Amino acid sequence: SASLAQVHRAKLQDGRDVAVKVQYPEIRDLVHSDLSNLRALFRAVGVIERGFDLMPLIGELSEHMPRELDFCSEGINAERVAGFFEGRADLSVPQIHWDLTTTRVLVSDFVEGIKISDRSALERAGIEPSSVMQTLLEAYCEQILVEGFFHADPHPGNLMVLPPGEDDCPATVVFLDFGLAKELPPASRQSTVQFAGALLQGDAKAMGNALVKLGFKT
Protein backbone atom coordinates (compact mmCIF):
# COMPACT_ATOMS: atom_id res chain seq x y z
CA SER A 1 0.00 0.00 0.00
CA ALA A 2 1.43 3.39 -1.04
CA SER A 3 0.29 6.97 -1.47
CA LEU A 4 -1.31 6.62 -4.91
CA ALA A 5 -2.12 2.93 -5.24
CA GLN A 6 -2.07 -0.58 -3.83
CA VAL A 7 -0.17 -3.50 -5.36
CA HIS A 8 -1.58 -7.02 -5.19
CA ARG A 9 -0.12 -10.36 -6.20
CA ALA A 10 -2.32 -12.22 -8.67
CA LYS A 11 -2.23 -15.18 -11.04
CA LEU A 12 -3.04 -15.15 -14.74
CA GLN A 13 -5.15 -17.87 -16.29
CA ASP A 14 -1.99 -19.45 -17.70
CA GLY A 15 -0.58 -19.74 -14.14
CA ARG A 16 1.96 -16.91 -14.27
CA ASP A 17 2.27 -14.67 -11.19
CA VAL A 18 1.82 -10.95 -11.78
CA ALA A 19 1.79 -7.75 -9.76
CA VAL A 20 -1.40 -5.69 -10.13
CA LYS A 21 -1.10 -2.01 -9.24
CA VAL A 22 -4.54 -0.47 -8.61
CA GLN A 23 -5.00 3.28 -8.24
CA TYR A 24 -7.15 4.63 -5.41
CA PRO A 25 -10.44 5.87 -6.94
CA GLU A 26 -10.34 9.28 -5.22
CA ILE A 27 -6.64 10.03 -5.58
CA ARG A 28 -6.77 12.21 -8.72
CA ASP A 29 -9.06 14.80 -7.08
CA LEU A 30 -6.98 14.72 -3.88
CA VAL A 31 -3.74 15.35 -5.77
CA HIS A 32 -5.19 18.35 -7.62
CA SER A 33 -6.59 19.71 -4.34
CA ASP A 34 -3.22 19.31 -2.59
CA LEU A 35 -1.37 21.03 -5.44
CA SER A 36 -3.83 23.94 -5.32
CA ASN A 37 -3.34 24.30 -1.54
CA LEU A 38 0.45 24.14 -1.89
CA ARG A 39 0.37 26.77 -4.64
CA ALA A 40 -1.54 29.16 -2.34
CA LEU A 41 0.82 28.42 0.58
CA PHE A 42 3.98 28.94 -1.50
CA ARG A 43 2.64 32.24 -2.87
CA ALA A 44 2.12 33.39 0.72
CA VAL A 45 5.70 32.39 1.59
CA GLY A 46 6.91 34.39 -1.42
CA VAL A 47 5.11 37.49 -0.15
CA ILE A 48 6.62 37.16 3.35
CA GLU A 49 10.10 36.08 2.22
CA ARG A 50 10.80 38.01 -0.98
CA GLY A 51 14.05 36.19 -1.74
CA PHE A 52 12.63 32.70 -1.22
CA ASP A 53 10.75 31.51 -4.33
CA LEU A 54 9.19 28.07 -3.99
CA MET A 55 6.94 28.34 -7.07
CA PRO A 56 9.34 26.38 -9.34
CA LEU A 57 8.75 23.39 -7.05
CA ILE A 58 5.01 23.66 -7.70
CA GLY A 59 5.72 23.86 -11.41
CA GLU A 60 7.73 20.64 -11.25
CA LEU A 61 5.12 18.85 -9.13
CA SER A 62 2.26 20.04 -11.35
CA GLU A 63 4.07 18.68 -14.40
CA HIS A 64 4.97 15.26 -12.99
CA MET A 65 2.17 14.31 -10.59
CA PRO A 66 -0.49 13.95 -13.33
CA ARG A 67 1.94 11.66 -15.21
CA GLU A 68 2.32 9.51 -12.09
CA LEU A 69 -1.46 9.03 -12.13
CA ASP A 70 -1.33 7.65 -15.69
CA PHE A 71 -0.23 4.03 -15.41
CA CYS A 72 0.06 3.71 -19.19
CA SER A 73 2.74 6.41 -19.01
CA GLU A 74 4.43 4.42 -16.23
CA GLY A 75 4.44 1.31 -18.41
CA ILE A 76 6.04 3.25 -21.27
CA ASN A 77 8.72 4.57 -18.88
CA ALA A 78 9.45 1.04 -17.67
CA GLU A 79 9.87 -0.33 -21.19
CA ARG A 80 12.08 2.60 -22.19
CA VAL A 81 14.50 2.00 -19.31
CA ALA A 82 14.35 -1.77 -19.87
CA GLY A 83 15.65 -1.06 -23.38
CA PHE A 84 18.72 0.65 -21.91
CA PHE A 85 19.59 -2.55 -20.01
CA GLU A 86 19.27 -4.97 -22.93
CA GLY A 87 22.28 -7.24 -23.04
CA ARG A 88 22.97 -6.90 -19.30
CA ALA A 89 22.19 -9.91 -17.13
CA ASP A 90 22.66 -7.91 -13.91
CA LEU A 91 19.88 -5.33 -14.53
CA SER A 92 16.19 -5.99 -15.09
CA VAL A 93 12.75 -4.35 -15.33
CA PRO A 94 9.56 -6.48 -14.97
CA GLN A 95 7.65 -6.98 -18.21
CA ILE A 96 4.41 -4.99 -18.62
CA HIS A 97 1.23 -6.87 -19.62
CA TRP A 98 -0.37 -4.28 -21.90
CA ASP A 99 -3.50 -6.33 -22.60
CA LEU A 100 -4.43 -5.97 -18.91
CA THR A 101 -3.13 -2.43 -18.28
CA THR A 102 -5.16 0.80 -18.24
CA THR A 103 -4.53 4.34 -16.99
CA ARG A 104 -5.55 3.22 -13.47
CA VAL A 105 -4.46 -0.45 -13.42
CA LEU A 106 -0.94 -1.64 -14.21
CA VAL A 107 -0.10 -5.34 -14.56
CA SER A 108 3.50 -6.54 -14.70
CA ASP A 109 5.50 -9.69 -14.01
CA PHE A 110 5.76 -10.50 -10.31
CA VAL A 111 9.33 -10.50 -9.03
CA GLU A 112 10.27 -11.98 -5.68
CA GLY A 113 13.72 -10.89 -4.56
CA ILE A 114 15.67 -9.30 -1.73
CA LYS A 115 15.15 -5.67 -0.75
CA ILE A 116 18.29 -3.81 -1.80
CA SER A 117 18.74 -2.31 1.68
CA ASP A 118 18.60 -5.72 3.45
CA ARG A 119 22.35 -6.25 3.72
CA SER A 120 22.17 -9.36 5.92
CA ALA A 121 19.76 -11.09 3.52
CA LEU A 122 22.01 -10.23 0.59
CA GLU A 123 25.03 -11.71 2.34
CA ARG A 124 23.10 -14.86 3.31
CA ALA A 125 22.26 -15.32 -0.36
CA GLY A 126 25.95 -15.07 -1.24
CA ILE A 127 25.60 -11.59 -2.76
CA GLU A 128 28.34 -9.03 -2.15
CA PRO A 129 26.66 -5.66 -1.32
CA SER A 130 29.53 -3.71 -2.91
CA SER A 131 28.91 -5.44 -6.25
CA VAL A 132 25.22 -4.55 -6.02
CA MET A 133 26.18 -0.93 -5.38
CA GLN A 134 28.51 -0.99 -8.39
CA THR A 135 25.71 -2.30 -10.59
CA LEU A 136 23.29 0.35 -9.31
CA LEU A 137 25.80 3.16 -9.94
CA GLU A 138 26.44 1.89 -13.47
CA ALA A 139 22.68 1.75 -14.10
CA TYR A 140 22.20 5.38 -13.05
CA CYS A 141 25.25 6.60 -14.97
CA GLU A 142 23.82 4.89 -18.05
CA GLN A 143 20.38 6.44 -17.53
CA ILE A 144 21.43 9.97 -16.55
CA LEU A 145 24.66 10.59 -18.45
CA VAL A 146 24.18 8.47 -21.59
CA GLU A 147 20.44 8.21 -22.23
CA GLY A 148 19.22 11.36 -20.47
CA PHE A 149 16.17 9.59 -19.02
CA PHE A 150 16.07 7.97 -15.61
CA HIS A 151 14.02 6.21 -12.91
CA ALA A 152 13.54 9.09 -10.46
CA ASP A 153 12.22 7.29 -7.37
CA PRO A 154 15.07 4.99 -6.23
CA HIS A 155 14.04 4.31 -2.63
CA PRO A 156 14.69 0.77 -1.28
CA GLY A 157 11.08 -0.31 -1.84
CA ASN A 158 11.57 0.16 -5.59
CA LEU A 159 14.87 -1.73 -5.87
CA MET A 160 15.22 -5.50 -5.45
CA VAL A 161 18.03 -7.99 -5.96
CA LEU A 162 17.64 -11.47 -7.43
CA PRO A 163 20.26 -14.02 -6.28
CA PRO A 164 22.71 -15.41 -8.84
CA GLY A 165 21.27 -18.15 -11.02
CA GLU A 166 22.86 -21.06 -12.82
CA ASP A 167 25.50 -20.78 -15.56
CA ASP A 168 27.45 -18.10 -13.65
CA CYS A 169 24.61 -15.57 -13.93
CA PRO A 170 25.29 -12.57 -11.66
CA ALA A 171 22.98 -11.13 -9.03
CA THR A 172 20.36 -8.95 -10.74
CA VAL A 173 19.19 -5.50 -9.63
CA VAL A 174 15.49 -5.09 -10.46
CA PHE A 175 13.91 -1.65 -10.89
CA LEU A 176 10.25 -1.29 -9.86
CA ASP A 177 7.69 1.54 -10.10
CA PHE A 178 8.40 3.94 -12.97
CA GLY A 179 5.64 6.42 -12.11
CA LEU A 180 8.30 9.06 -11.54
CA ALA A 181 10.83 9.37 -14.36
CA LYS A 182 12.72 12.37 -15.67
CA GLU A 183 14.04 13.48 -19.05
CA LEU A 184 17.28 15.48 -19.10
CA PRO A 185 18.41 17.71 -22.00
CA PRO A 186 21.94 17.11 -23.37
CA ALA A 187 23.29 20.33 -21.80
CA SER A 188 22.15 19.16 -18.37
CA ARG A 189 23.95 15.84 -18.80
CA GLN A 190 27.16 17.64 -19.79
CA SER A 191 26.97 19.96 -16.77
CA THR A 192 26.38 16.96 -14.49
CA VAL A 193 29.60 15.36 -15.76
CA GLN A 194 31.44 18.66 -15.26
CA PHE A 195 30.14 18.90 -11.69
CA ALA A 196 31.19 15.33 -10.89
CA GLY A 197 34.67 15.94 -12.30
CA ALA A 198 35.06 19.17 -10.34
CA LEU A 199 33.84 17.43 -7.17
CA LEU A 200 36.41 14.63 -7.54
CA GLN A 201 39.18 17.17 -8.16
CA GLY A 202 38.12 19.41 -5.28
CA ASP A 203 37.72 22.40 -7.63
CA ALA A 204 35.15 24.58 -5.84
CA LYS A 205 35.01 27.25 -8.56
CA ALA A 206 34.35 24.69 -11.31
CA MET A 207 31.71 23.04 -9.10
CA GLY A 208 29.97 26.39 -8.71
CA ASN A 209 30.06 27.06 -12.45
CA ALA A 210 28.59 23.62 -13.20
CA LEU A 211 25.82 24.13 -10.63
CA VAL A 212 24.91 27.49 -12.19
CA LYS A 213 24.71 25.81 -15.62
CA LEU A 214 22.43 23.17 -14.07
CA GLY A 215 20.07 25.93 -12.92
CA PHE A 216 20.94 26.12 -9.21
CA LYS A 217 20.55 29.59 -7.75
CA THR A 218 21.24 31.10 -4.33
Active centre residues (catalytic): 153
DSSP lists the bridge partners of residue 18 as 10, 109
Q: At what angle do helices 186-201 and 204-214 cross, to 10 degrees?
A: 160
Paired sense of beta strands 91-92 and 172-175, if any:
parallel
Residues 72 and 52: their CA atoms lie apart, in Å, by 36
Minimal CA–CA distance to 95: which of 11, 14, 174?
174
Helix (H) or strand (E) holding 95: none
Residues 204 and 210: their CA atoms lie apart, in Å, by 10
Residues 143 and 137: their CA atoms lie apart, in Å, by 10
Half-sphere exposure of 103 (CA within 13 A, CB side): 7
Longest dimension (CA), the chain: 64
Minimal CA–CA distance to 105: which of 5, 190, 205?
5
Length of the chain, in residues? 218
